[in-house]
């Protein structure tokens, strides 16, 4: 791909501002040095959760400042004010501007750190899809997401094991704010499996639940097997929120889940 094509792609994907004259030099440097990203801050680090295909974590997705500004955007919506009861807010279709920006940042974080770091071959993910935080057919769909859920959880509150509803397409993003937590993943039961197979499987693998630490400001991407063949849950009852043997200090947690309707 020629540099001009990359430039056009960036402009289409992330808007005009990143390509203005003043930023021209920075953009050139950025294209020369894929490890620097000027639009979004430093280069995010992606971690592939090796046991679960299609599960990726970006722990440094949002800086503390970006987390605060996102929280204040959520507060301004008034979803969780004194009068508004409940701990969950949903939006379908047109998302608020801050959620559109968040979607753009997700696209950018995947694109810059993965596709551009392989800048000599931008199609690499199509060859090795499993090594990509978000495969290109999901990354470039429009809009990337059209449904938003914001959840707030008090210490002790979590979410039961589930697979997200089939009314949502593949490719789900979860952003964590205010408190770290451990999300556990467990395989969906294979309804067609032979009687006793589950026992055998679990005996072979007693730690069938895979823990993933979601730190404040982190982004999780779930697609393919991670989205369809694994359940996810957050159990914040005493004793379940341990990481490397240490109990996690639990505070109120806010999460943003972004999905696309079928
Ligand atoms: O709050 C979270 O981190 C997860 C939320 C979730 O799994 C969902 O809304 O389906
Ligand atoms: Fe979920």
Distance in angstroms (rounded) separating the CA atoms of residues 56 and 58: 7
What pLDDT is attached to residue 193?
Answer: 60
* Closest ligand relative to 219 C-alpha: 1
At 143-154, the pLDDT tens digits run 999 999 999 999
Average pLDDT over residues 69-77: 95
Q: What is the pTM of this model?
A: 0.82
DSSP state of 261: B
Q: Which positions ≥6 away from 77 have C-beta within 8 Å?
A: 89, 96
CA of 218 from ligand 2 middle (Å) equals 16
Chosen CATH of 44-259 out of 3.30.70.2860, 2.60.120.590, 1.10.40.30, 3.40.50.10190: 2.60.120.590
Residue 174 tokens read as 């979860």
How many angstroms is it from 206 CA to the middle of ligand 1? Answer: 25
Rounded CA-CA distance 241/234 in Å is 9
**What DSSP string runs through 147-182?**
EEEEEEE-TT--EEEE---TTB-S-EEEEEESS-EE
Which of 91, 169, 228, 257 to mutate for ligand 1's pocket (most ligand atoms within 8 Å of CB)?
257
Q: What pLDDT does residue 29 have?
A: 43
Judge whether residue 52 has pLDDT over 80: yes
Q: Is the CB of 67 under 6 A from ligand 1?
A: no
- Most informative mutation of 74, 91, 148, 151 for ligand 1 (most atoms within 8 A of CB): 151
Is 253 touching ligand 1 by the criterion CB < 6 Å? no
Render pLDDT for 176-217 as a digit per residue (tens, 0 to 9). Answer: 999 999 999 999 975 556 666 666 555 556 558 999 999 999
Substitution candidate for ligand 1 out of 153, 174, 259 with most atoms within 8 A of CB = 174
DSSP tag of 61: S
ipTM passes above 0.95: yes
Domain map (residue ranges) of the chain? 1-33, 44-259
Q: How far apart are CA 205 and CA 51, in angstroms?
A: 12
Q: In percent, how much of the chain has pLDDT > 70?
A: 70
């Amino acid at each position: 791909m020629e540099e001009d094509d990359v430039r056009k792609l960036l402009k289409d994907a992330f808007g005009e501002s990143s390509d203005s004259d003043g930023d021209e030099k920075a953009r050139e440097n950025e294209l020369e040095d894929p490890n620097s990203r000027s639009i979004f801050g430093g280069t995010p680090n992606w971690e592939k959760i090796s046991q679960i295909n299609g599960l990726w974590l970006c722990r440094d997705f949002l800086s503390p400042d970006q987390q605060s500004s996102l929280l204040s955007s959520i507060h301004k919506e008034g979803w969780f004010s004194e009068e508004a009861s409940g701990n969950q807010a949903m939006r379908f279709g047109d998302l608020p501007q801050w959620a559109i920006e968040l979607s753009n940042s997700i696209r950018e974080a995947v694109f810059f750190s993965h596709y551009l770091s392989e800048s000599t071959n931008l199609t690499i993910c199509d060859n090795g899809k499993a090594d990509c935080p978000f495969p290109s057919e999901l990354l470039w769909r429009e809009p990337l997401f059209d449904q938003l859920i914001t959840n707030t959880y008090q210490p002790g509150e979590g979410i039961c094991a589930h697979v997200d509803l089939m009314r949502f397409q593949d490719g789900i993003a979860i952003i964590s704010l205010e408190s770290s937590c451990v999300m556990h993943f467990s395989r969906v039961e294979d309804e067609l499996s032979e009687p006793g197979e589950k026992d055998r499987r679990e005996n072979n693998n007693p730690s069938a639940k895979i823990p993933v630490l979601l730190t404040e400001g982190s982004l999780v991407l779930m697609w393919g097997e991670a989205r369809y063949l694994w359940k996810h849950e957050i159990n914040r009852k005493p004793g379940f929120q341990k990481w490397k043997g240490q109990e996690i200090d639990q505070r109120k947690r806010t999460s943003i889940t972004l999905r696309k309707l079928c």
